[in-house]
Amino acid sequence: MAHIKVPDLPGIRGLMAFRPETAKVLNELTEVLLRSENSLSRGERELIATYVSSLNDCFFCQNAHGGIAQHYLQCDMDFIDSVKRDFQSTEISDKMKTLLSIAAAVQKGGKNVTPEQVEKAKGLGATDIEIHDTVLIAAAFCMFSRYVDGLGTTAPSDRQFYINRGKVRAEEGYVGFDLYK
Amino acid sequence: MAHIKVPDLPGIRGLMAFRPETAKVLNELTEVLLRSENSLSRGERELIATYVSSLNDCFFCQNAHGGIAQHYLQCDMDFIDSVKRDFQSTEISDKMKTLLSIAAAVQKGGKNVTPEQVEKAKGLGATDIEIHDTVLIAAAFCMFSRYVDGLGTTAPSDRQFYINRGKVRAEEGYVGFDLYK
Protein backbone atom coordinates (compact mmCIF):
# COMPACT_ATOMS: atom_id res chain seq x y z
CA MET A 1 0.00 0.00 0.00
CA ALA A 2 1.30 3.43 -0.90
CA HIS A 3 2.26 5.89 1.86
CA ILE A 4 -0.63 8.16 0.85
CA LYS A 5 -4.13 7.36 -0.35
CA VAL A 6 -3.95 7.09 -4.15
CA PRO A 7 -6.04 5.23 -6.73
CA ASP A 8 -5.16 1.54 -6.97
CA LEU A 9 -3.10 1.59 -10.17
CA PRO A 10 0.39 0.16 -10.83
CA GLY A 11 3.47 2.18 -9.86
CA ILE A 12 3.55 5.78 -11.04
CA ARG A 13 0.00 5.58 -12.43
CA GLY A 14 -1.64 5.81 -9.03
CA LEU A 15 0.43 8.93 -8.29
CA MET A 16 -0.49 10.43 -11.65
CA ALA A 17 -4.18 9.80 -11.07
CA PHE A 18 -3.83 11.37 -7.59
CA ARG A 19 -2.06 14.50 -8.84
CA PRO A 20 -2.94 15.30 -12.48
CA GLU A 21 -1.22 18.72 -12.30
CA THR A 22 2.20 17.16 -11.88
CA ALA A 23 1.33 14.10 -14.02
CA LYS A 24 0.82 16.35 -17.03
CA VAL A 25 4.29 17.90 -16.93
CA LEU A 26 6.02 14.66 -15.96
CA ASN A 27 4.48 12.90 -18.95
CA GLU A 28 5.44 15.78 -21.24
CA LEU A 29 9.01 15.55 -19.96
CA THR A 30 9.09 11.81 -20.66
CA GLU A 31 7.64 12.35 -24.13
CA VAL A 32 10.34 14.90 -25.02
CA LEU A 33 13.16 12.84 -23.54
CA LEU A 34 12.23 9.40 -24.80
CA ARG A 35 10.11 9.83 -27.92
CA SER A 36 10.76 13.15 -29.67
CA GLU A 37 13.00 13.46 -32.75
CA ASN A 38 16.52 12.39 -31.81
CA SER A 39 19.58 10.72 -33.30
CA LEU A 40 19.41 8.27 -30.39
CA SER A 41 16.64 5.81 -31.21
CA ARG A 42 13.63 5.43 -28.96
CA GLY A 43 14.87 1.97 -28.06
CA GLU A 44 18.29 3.30 -27.07
CA ARG A 45 16.75 6.01 -24.90
CA GLU A 46 14.38 3.55 -23.20
CA LEU A 47 17.40 1.32 -22.57
CA ILE A 48 19.20 4.17 -20.77
CA ALA A 49 16.05 4.77 -18.69
CA THR A 50 15.76 1.06 -17.91
CA TYR A 51 19.41 0.71 -16.96
CA VAL A 52 19.37 3.72 -14.61
CA SER A 53 16.11 2.50 -13.04
CA SER A 54 17.73 -0.86 -12.39
CA LEU A 55 20.68 0.87 -10.71
CA ASN A 56 18.09 2.69 -8.60
CA ASP A 57 16.57 -0.70 -7.78
CA CYS A 58 13.13 0.58 -8.80
CA PHE A 59 11.14 -2.49 -9.80
CA PHE A 60 8.32 -0.63 -11.52
CA CYS A 61 10.50 1.78 -13.53
CA GLN A 62 12.98 -0.82 -14.76
CA ASN A 63 10.22 -3.21 -15.82
CA ALA A 64 7.88 -0.60 -17.32
CA HIS A 65 10.65 0.94 -19.42
CA GLY A 66 12.33 -2.44 -19.97
CA GLY A 67 9.09 -3.60 -21.57
CA ILE A 68 9.03 -0.56 -23.84
CA ALA A 69 12.74 -0.89 -24.72
CA GLN A 70 12.20 -4.55 -25.56
CA HIS A 71 9.36 -3.61 -27.89
CA TYR A 72 11.34 -0.94 -29.74
CA LEU A 73 14.55 -2.98 -29.92
CA GLN A 74 12.62 -6.10 -30.96
CA CYS A 75 14.61 -8.19 -28.51
CA ASP A 76 13.55 -10.41 -25.60
CA MET A 77 13.65 -9.58 -21.90
CA ASP A 78 16.77 -11.72 -21.47
CA PHE A 79 18.66 -9.18 -23.56
CA ILE A 80 17.32 -6.31 -21.46
CA ASP A 81 18.36 -8.22 -18.34
CA SER A 82 21.86 -8.80 -19.73
CA VAL A 83 22.26 -5.04 -20.30
CA LYS A 84 21.18 -4.35 -16.72
CA ARG A 85 23.52 -7.03 -15.38
CA ASP A 86 26.64 -6.24 -17.43
CA PHE A 87 26.16 -4.06 -20.51
CA GLN A 88 29.87 -4.25 -21.39
CA SER A 89 29.52 -7.93 -22.29
CA THR A 90 26.49 -7.38 -24.56
CA GLU A 91 26.43 -6.65 -28.27
CA ILE A 92 25.31 -3.03 -28.02
CA SER A 93 27.52 -0.49 -29.82
CA ASP A 94 30.65 0.93 -28.22
CA LYS A 95 28.99 4.34 -28.32
CA MET A 96 25.99 3.03 -26.36
CA LYS A 97 28.34 1.36 -23.86
CA THR A 98 30.03 4.69 -23.24
CA LEU A 99 26.70 6.49 -22.93
CA LEU A 100 25.54 3.87 -20.41
CA SER A 101 28.73 4.39 -18.43
CA ILE A 102 27.96 8.12 -18.33
CA ALA A 103 24.41 7.31 -17.23
CA ALA A 104 25.77 5.10 -14.44
CA ALA A 105 28.00 7.95 -13.25
CA VAL A 106 25.03 10.35 -13.22
CA GLN A 107 23.05 7.84 -11.18
CA LYS A 108 25.73 7.95 -8.44
CA GLY A 109 25.80 11.76 -8.59
CA GLY A 110 26.49 14.33 -11.31
CA LYS A 111 30.07 14.97 -10.25
CA ASN A 112 30.99 11.37 -11.06
CA VAL A 113 30.88 12.07 -14.80
CA THR A 114 34.48 12.53 -15.96
CA PRO A 115 35.84 14.53 -18.91
CA GLU A 116 37.49 11.26 -20.04
CA GLN A 117 34.10 9.50 -20.29
CA VAL A 118 32.68 12.38 -22.29
CA GLU A 119 35.73 12.52 -24.59
CA LYS A 120 35.50 8.79 -25.17
CA ALA A 121 31.82 9.12 -26.11
CA LYS A 122 32.62 11.97 -28.50
CA GLY A 123 35.43 9.92 -30.04
CA LEU A 124 32.91 7.16 -30.73
CA GLY A 125 30.63 9.60 -32.52
CA ALA A 126 28.32 10.78 -29.74
CA THR A 127 27.05 14.31 -30.40
CA ASP A 128 26.72 17.00 -27.74
CA ILE A 129 22.95 16.58 -27.90
CA GLU A 130 23.26 12.84 -27.36
CA ILE A 131 25.54 13.36 -24.35
CA HIS A 132 23.20 16.04 -22.99
CA ASP A 133 20.16 13.82 -23.41
CA THR A 134 21.90 10.81 -21.89
CA VAL A 135 22.72 12.83 -18.77
CA LEU A 136 19.21 14.27 -18.56
CA ILE A 137 17.49 10.92 -19.13
CA ALA A 138 19.67 9.38 -16.42
CA ALA A 139 18.95 12.30 -14.08
CA ALA A 140 15.22 12.15 -14.82
CA PHE A 141 15.07 8.47 -13.95
CA CYS A 142 16.80 9.24 -10.66
CA MET A 143 13.73 11.41 -10.11
CA PHE A 144 11.14 8.90 -11.33
CA SER A 145 12.58 6.03 -9.29
CA ARG A 146 12.61 8.15 -6.14
CA TYR A 147 9.07 9.34 -6.82
CA VAL A 148 7.67 5.84 -7.35
CA ASP A 149 9.49 4.23 -4.41
CA GLY A 150 9.47 7.28 -2.12
CA LEU A 151 5.69 7.15 -2.00
CA GLY A 152 5.70 3.38 -1.47
CA THR A 153 3.68 2.48 -4.57
CA THR A 154 3.10 -1.13 -5.50
CA ALA A 155 3.20 -2.80 -8.90
CA PRO A 156 2.46 -6.21 -10.47
CA SER A 157 5.30 -8.70 -10.13
CA ASP A 158 4.36 -10.55 -13.35
CA ARG A 159 6.85 -9.39 -15.99
CA GLN A 160 4.49 -10.31 -18.81
CA PHE A 161 2.35 -7.38 -17.62
CA TYR A 162 5.16 -5.00 -18.58
CA ILE A 163 5.84 -6.69 -21.91
CA ASN A 164 2.17 -6.27 -22.84
CA ARG A 165 2.14 -2.69 -21.60
CA GLY A 166 5.40 -1.86 -23.40
CA LYS A 167 3.76 -2.36 -26.78
CA VAL A 168 0.78 -0.20 -25.83
CA ARG A 169 2.91 2.63 -24.44
CA ALA A 170 5.17 2.57 -27.51
CA GLU A 171 2.09 2.94 -29.70
CA GLU A 172 0.27 5.55 -27.59
CA GLY A 173 3.18 7.61 -26.29
CA TYR A 174 3.33 9.27 -22.89
CA VAL A 175 0.96 12.16 -23.36
CA GLY A 176 -2.80 12.03 -23.07
CA PHE A 177 -3.21 8.29 -22.50
CA ASP A 178 -5.91 6.90 -20.22
CA LEU A 179 -4.34 6.07 -16.83
CA TYR A 180 -7.18 3.67 -16.06
CA LYS A 181 -6.99 1.60 -19.24
CA MET B 1 33.93 24.60 -18.72
CA ALA B 2 30.94 22.35 -19.31
CA HIS B 3 31.44 18.86 -20.78
CA ILE B 4 29.61 19.94 -23.95
CA LYS B 5 29.61 23.22 -25.85
CA VAL B 6 26.81 25.33 -24.35
CA PRO B 7 26.22 29.10 -24.16
CA ASP B 8 28.21 30.75 -21.38
CA LEU B 9 25.45 31.18 -18.80
CA PRO B 10 25.39 30.19 -15.11
CA GLY B 11 24.51 26.61 -14.13
CA ILE B 12 21.36 25.18 -15.67
CA ARG B 13 20.84 28.26 -17.86
CA GLY B 14 23.55 27.27 -20.33
CA LEU B 15 21.92 23.85 -20.67
CA MET B 16 18.51 25.41 -21.15
CA ALA B 17 19.79 27.73 -23.85
CA PHE B 18 21.47 24.73 -25.53
CA ARG B 19 18.35 22.56 -25.48
CA PRO B 20 15.14 24.64 -25.46
CA GLU B 21 12.94 21.58 -26.06
CA THR B 22 13.81 20.09 -22.67
CA ALA B 23 14.16 23.52 -21.00
CA LYS B 24 10.49 24.22 -21.69
CA VAL B 25 9.19 21.14 -19.88
CA LEU B 26 11.73 21.37 -17.06
CA ASN B 27 10.68 24.94 -16.36
CA GLU B 28 7.01 23.99 -16.46
CA LEU B 29 7.71 21.20 -13.97
CA THR B 30 9.49 23.63 -11.65
CA GLU B 31 6.63 26.13 -11.96
CA VAL B 32 4.02 23.51 -10.99
CA LEU B 33 6.11 22.12 -8.14
CA LEU B 34 7.39 25.32 -6.58
CA ARG B 35 4.96 28.08 -7.48
CA SER B 36 1.45 26.77 -8.25
CA GLU B 37 -1.40 26.90 -5.71
CA ASN B 38 -0.44 24.82 -2.68
CA SER B 39 -0.94 24.67 1.08
CA LEU B 40 2.87 24.56 1.35
CA SER B 41 4.09 28.11 0.82
CA ARG B 42 6.45 28.96 -2.02
CA GLY B 43 9.14 29.64 0.55
CA GLU B 44 8.66 26.22 2.17
CA ARG B 45 8.85 24.47 -1.19
CA GLU B 46 11.98 26.40 -2.22
CA LEU B 47 13.48 25.42 1.15
CA ILE B 48 12.88 21.72 0.41
CA ALA B 49 14.51 22.20 -3.02
CA THR B 50 17.46 24.03 -1.45
CA TYR B 51 17.96 21.44 1.27
CA VAL B 52 17.92 18.49 -1.15
CA SER B 53 20.29 20.34 -3.51
CA SER B 54 22.69 20.87 -0.62
CA LEU B 55 22.55 17.14 0.20
CA ASN B 56 23.37 16.57 -3.48
CA ASP B 57 26.30 18.98 -3.06
CA CYS B 58 25.14 20.95 -6.10
CA PHE B 59 26.51 24.46 -5.65
CA PHE B 60 24.37 26.10 -8.31
CA CYS B 61 21.05 24.48 -7.31
CA GLN B 62 21.41 25.09 -3.58
CA ASN B 63 22.39 28.72 -4.08
CA ALA B 64 19.91 29.53 -6.84
CA HIS B 65 17.00 28.09 -4.87
CA GLY B 66 18.44 29.25 -1.55
CA GLY B 67 18.33 32.78 -2.93
CA ILE B 68 14.69 32.37 -3.92
CA ALA B 69 13.76 30.74 -0.58
CA GLN B 70 15.45 33.59 1.27
CA HIS B 71 13.40 36.09 -0.72
CA TYR B 72 10.06 34.39 -0.05
CA LEU B 73 10.81 33.64 3.60
CA GLN B 74 12.19 37.15 4.14
CA CYS B 75 15.13 35.77 6.05
CA ASP B 76 18.87 36.07 5.52
CA MET B 77 21.22 33.52 3.97
CA ASP B 78 22.50 32.55 7.44
CA PHE B 79 19.08 31.11 8.18
CA ILE B 80 19.09 29.16 4.89
CA ASP B 81 22.56 27.88 5.77
CA SER B 82 21.41 26.80 9.24
CA VAL B 83 18.60 24.75 7.68
CA LYS B 84 21.06 23.08 5.33
CA ARG B 85 23.48 22.40 8.19
CA ASP B 86 21.01 21.13 10.82
CA PHE B 87 17.35 21.89 10.23
CA GLN B 88 16.33 20.18 13.48
CA SER B 89 17.94 22.96 15.51
CA THR B 90 16.22 25.77 13.58
CA GLU B 91 12.91 27.43 14.30
CA ILE B 92 11.00 25.95 11.37
CA SER B 93 7.75 24.15 12.27
CA ASP B 94 7.72 20.53 13.40
CA LYS B 95 5.73 19.69 10.29
CA MET B 96 8.42 21.21 8.07
CA LYS B 97 11.11 19.34 10.01
CA THR B 98 9.33 16.07 9.29
CA LEU B 99 8.86 16.96 5.63
CA LEU B 100 12.58 17.77 5.37
CA SER B 101 13.40 14.41 6.95
CA ILE B 102 11.25 12.73 4.28
CA ALA B 103 13.04 14.80 1.61
CA ALA B 104 16.41 13.66 2.99
CA ALA B 105 15.29 10.03 2.81
CA VAL B 106 14.19 10.50 -0.82
CA GLN B 107 17.57 12.02 -1.63
CA LYS B 108 19.27 8.81 -0.47
CA GLY B 109 16.82 6.70 -2.45
CA GLY B 110 13.02 6.29 -2.49
CA LYS B 111 12.99 3.15 -0.38
CA ASN B 112 14.50 5.06 2.55
CA VAL B 113 11.19 6.77 3.26
CA THR B 114 9.56 4.92 6.16
CA PRO B 115 5.86 4.56 7.05
CA GLU B 116 6.82 6.00 10.47
CA GLN B 117 8.12 9.22 8.89
CA VAL B 118 4.97 9.58 6.85
CA GLU B 119 2.71 8.87 9.85
CA LYS B 120 4.61 11.45 11.89
CA ALA B 121 4.13 14.05 9.17
CA LYS B 122 0.41 13.26 8.98
CA GLY B 123 0.16 13.50 12.77
CA LEU B 124 1.64 17.00 12.55
CA GLY B 125 -0.98 18.03 10.00
CA ALA B 126 0.72 17.27 6.68
CA THR B 127 -1.82 16.43 3.98
CA ASP B 128 -1.39 13.66 1.42
CA ILE B 129 -0.79 16.32 -1.25
CA GLU B 130 1.90 17.95 0.91
CA ILE B 131 3.63 14.59 1.42
CA HIS B 132 3.32 13.79 -2.28
CA ASP B 133 4.74 17.16 -3.30
CA THR B 134 7.58 16.94 -0.78
CA VAL B 135 8.64 13.58 -2.23
CA LEU B 136 8.32 14.82 -5.81
CA ILE B 137 10.19 18.09 -5.14
CA ALA B 138 12.99 16.12 -3.45
CA ALA B 139 13.06 13.64 -6.34
CA ALA B 140 13.03 16.44 -8.92
CA PHE B 141 16.02 18.13 -7.30
CA CYS B 142 17.88 14.83 -7.41
CA MET B 143 17.34 15.20 -11.16
CA PHE B 144 18.25 18.88 -11.41
CA SER B 145 21.44 18.49 -9.35
CA ARG B 146 22.57 15.55 -11.50
CA TYR B 147 21.74 17.46 -14.66
CA VAL B 148 23.67 20.58 -13.66
CA ASP B 149 26.72 18.74 -12.29
CA GLY B 150 26.60 15.79 -14.70
CA LEU B 151 27.25 18.14 -17.60
CA GLY B 152 29.98 19.96 -15.71
CA THR B 153 28.40 23.41 -15.79
CA THR B 154 29.99 26.32 -13.98
CA ALA B 155 28.38 29.05 -11.90
CA PRO B 156 29.36 32.29 -10.13
CA SER B 157 30.82 31.75 -6.66
CA ASP B 158 29.58 35.13 -5.37
CA ARG B 159 26.52 34.39 -3.25
CA GLN B 160 25.19 37.92 -3.70
CA PHE B 161 24.56 36.95 -7.32
CA TYR B 162 22.00 34.38 -6.14
CA ILE B 163 20.38 36.74 -3.65
CA ASN B 164 19.85 39.28 -6.44
CA ARG B 165 18.59 36.60 -8.81
CA GLY B 166 16.29 35.12 -6.17
CA LYS B 167 14.18 38.25 -6.10
CA VAL B 168 13.94 38.37 -9.90
CA ARG B 169 13.00 34.69 -10.21
CA ALA B 170 10.38 35.02 -7.47
CA GLU B 171 8.84 37.91 -9.38
CA GLU B 172 9.07 36.42 -12.87
CA GLY B 173 8.44 32.75 -12.15
CA TYR B 174 10.04 29.85 -14.02
CA VAL B 175 8.15 29.97 -17.28
CA GLY B 176 8.95 32.20 -20.23
CA PHE B 177 11.76 34.25 -18.67
CA ASP B 178 14.71 35.45 -20.72
CA LEU B 179 17.66 33.09 -20.13
CA TYR B 180 20.10 35.77 -21.25
CA LYS B 181 18.90 38.54 -18.96
Determine whether the interchain pair B135/A152 forms a contact, defined as Cβ–Cβ distance below 8 Å.
Answer: no
pLDDT grade, residue B169 (50/70/90)?
very high
Global pTM reads: 0.98
Which CATH topology does B23-172 take? AhpD-like (1.20.1290)
A-B CB pairs within 8 A amount to 156
A111 contact residues in B (CB cutoff 8 A)? 57, 149-150
Q: For residue B113, what is the nearest residue in chain A, using CA coordinates?
A: A150
B33 contact residues in A (CB cutoff 8 A)? 22
B29 contact residues in A (CB cutoff 8 A)? 22, 25-26, 29
Nearest-angstrom CA–CA distance, A89 and A61: 23
Q: For residue B129, what is the nearest residue in chain A, using CA coordinates?
A: A19
Helix (H, G, I), strand (E, B) or coil at A88: helix
Nearest-angstrom CA–CA distance, A157 and B34: 34
| Best B1, B119, B132 residue to mutate vs chain A (most A CBs within 10 Å) | B132
Nearest-angstrom CA–CA distance, B4 and A1: 43
Q: For residue A14, what is the nearest residue in chain B, using CA coordinates?
A: B132
Nearest-angstrom CA–CA distance, B23 and B27: 6
Nearest-angstrom CA–CA distance, A134 and A28: 17
A30-69 pLDDT per residue, tens: 999 999 999 999 999 999 999 999 999 999 999 999 999 9
A127-155 pLDDT per residue, tens: 999 999 999 999 999 999 999 999 999 99
B143-156 pLDDT per residue, tens: 999 999 999 999 99
Taking alpha carbons only, the member of A151, A85, A143, A63 closest to residue A110 is A143
**What ipTM was predicted for this assembly?**
0.98
